[in-house]
Chains A and B, each alone.
Chain A
Amino acid sequence: MNSFQLHQPKDLGSAASFANSGGDTRFLAGGQSILASMKLGLASPDAMIDLSLVPDLKSISVSNGVVKIGAMVKHADVAANAEVQKAIPALAELAGGIGDRQVRNMGTLGGSLANSDPAACYPAAALGLGATIHTDKRSISADSFFLGLYETALEAGEIITAVSFPVPEKAAYVKFKNSASRFALVGVFVSKGSQGVRVAVTGAGSCAFRATDIETALAGSWTAAACNAVKMTSDNLNGDLHASAEYRAHLIPVIAGRAVAAAK
């Protein structure tokens, strides 16, 4: 790893001013993605801004049909939170299935969304529940947040502070794991409720996306059979040594169907 300046601000305002002070700066949440990129030389920031001492980024609240989770809340803490388990069991289960126990003890919600890894789980939940991503500057709907491979609507130096997830009537996330990396080969989050029927797919494209054909089919009939009747095109899907684009296209409705069957 190249050397860098390390800032450990104690409030959001100072974190933002370090981030906007010029040079290549990166935030440090749990380090579970960024440190690996730095070891590989894919990122070599001049300065890192550790967000762990910034207050107010670590709370979880459930009220008025919304689960609000701070950006620095760790996957393990979402998975173990009784209020989240009760309000959106699919979200707690998704968090409890990310990577492995050690990764879940460090990795954060904000880091996962900001990273927009093509195979990450949380982006599917954000899109699949119609979440709102709050930053130090504004609120962004999940539908306009994920722009591409490791690319989001965040501006340079913008800090995610929390995410609001509307509580659905029913939801589930099913991940078809890449057994080596434990990321999603294909993962599908389905929900229905005040946000309508939503189906979000991860692992298959350059970033998480909504499968609108499956949403239409499920709006007509909330059944696994309705998913299975949809044929996805493999255009623009990822193909690699783990799975061809055609195989991923085949998996999407199948996994969506399993999620519908599991939804609660």
Chain B
Amino acid sequence: MSVNVTMKVNGQSVSATIEASMTLVEFIREHLRLTGTHVGCNTSQCGACTVHINGRAVKSCSLLVAQAQGAEVLTIEGLAAANGDMHPMQAAFKEHHGLQCGFCTPGMVMSACELKGKLVDPTDEQIRASIDGNICRCTGYQNIVTSVKAGLAAMA
């Protein structure tokens, strides 16, 4: 069965007719060709597919497109300023080497951005607990924690 969906992705209105069984990440990557959002597991484990729906971080592999009907969706492509200046969280990951291969990074950054206003001057422990929905196979997390801390401070 096909369904009509309309939503805003990174500020732009999009409408499409898609299969009801299509996941949001398939729509984002294959239909909108926004391939910054990654698929690591497709089973809700790794968080590489994290995007925001109406300001909340969700795993886009575990949502139907229809669940984002009418929503404001934000992907990693929508973070940087129009002139290309990096978002403070992206800049913090660059500055503090919060990535190695970069596969988990879009999800990590999107997940970290949702912490704005929720964690004030967080401890390392609080940051680790807050990003437990995102798995990194490279860094050992040390520099990710440092990056998230610096990114949140810059966003405050």
Q: Which residues of B contact A31 (CB under 8 A)?
A: 62-64, 67
* Minimum CB–CB distance for B94 against chain A, Å: 23
A99 within 8 A of B: yes
Q: A35 to B56, alpha carbons, bound, how many Å?
A: 19
A93 within 8 A of B: no
Q: A52 to B132, alpha carbons, bound, how many Å?
A: 27
Q: Which residues of B contact A102 (CB under 8 A)?
A: 44, 47, 50, 57-59, 111, 133
Q: A39 to B133, alpha carbons, bound, how many Å?
A: 20
A150 within 8 A of B: no
**Which one of B20, B44, B69, B132 lies within 8 Å of A3 (CB-CB)?**
B20
Q: A245 to B94, alpha carbons, bound, how many Å?
A: 47
* Minimum CB–CB distance for B117 against chain A, Å: 12
* Minimum CB–CB distance for B135 against chain A, Å: 10
Give the nearest-CB partner of A8 in chain B. B66
User: Contact mask B66-109 → A, CB, 8 Å, 1/0?
Assistant: 11010000000000000000000000000000000000000000
Contact between chains at A105 and B58 (CB < 8 Å)? yes
A99 and B66 in contact (CB under 8 A), knowing A1-B21, A3-B1? Answer: no
Contact between chains at B67 and A4 (CB < 8 Å)? no
Q: A31 to B21, alpha carbons, bound, how many Å?
A: 12
**Which one of A4, A103, A182 lies within 8 Å of B59 (CB-CB)?**
A103
A106 and B63 in contact (CB under 8 A), knowing A39-B43, A182-B132? Answer: yes
Contact between chains at A101 and B114 (CB < 8 Å)? yes
B154 within 8 A of A: no
* Minimum CB–CB distance for A5 against chain B, Å: 5
Give the nearest-CB partner of A106 in chain B. B58
Contact between chains at A4 and B1 (CB < 8 Å)? yes
Q: A100 to B107, alpha carbons, bound, how many Å?
A: 13
A50 within 8 A of B: yes
Report the interface size for chain A: residues with CB under 8 A from the other chain.
26
A149 within 8 A of B: no
Give the nearest-CB partner of B26 in chain A. A1
* Minimum CB–CB distance for A199 against chain B, Å: 27
Q: Which residues of A contact B111 (CB under 8 A)?
A: 101-102
User: Contact mask A186-227 → B, CB, 8 Å, 1/0?
Assistant: 000000000000000000000000000000000000000000
Contact between chains at A101 and B130 (CB < 8 Å)? yes
Contact between chains at A3 and B66 (CB < 8 Å)? no
Question: Can you name 29 A-B pairs with beta carbons within 8 Å?
Answer: A1-B23, A3-B19, A3-B21, A4-B21, A5-B1, A6-B66, A8-B66, A8-B69, A28-B64, A31-B64, A32-B44, A35-B23, A35-B64, A36-B44, A38-B21, A39-B43, A76-B56, A101-B114, A101-B130, A101-B133, A102-B47, A102-B58, A102-B59, A102-B111, A103-B44, A103-B133, A105-B56, A105-B57, A106-B58
Interface residues of A (CB under 8 A from B): 1-6, 8, 28, 31-32, 35-36, 38-39, 48, 50, 52, 76, 99-103, 105-106, 182
List 4 tightest A-B contacts by C-beta distance, closest first.
A100-B133, A6-B20, A1-B21, A105-B56
Contacts A2-B21, A31-B67 known; list 14 others, CB within 8 Å.
A3-B21, A4-B20, A5-B1, A32-B62, A35-B64, A36-B43, A38-B21, A100-B47, A100-B134, A101-B114, A102-B111, A103-B44, A103-B59, A106-B63
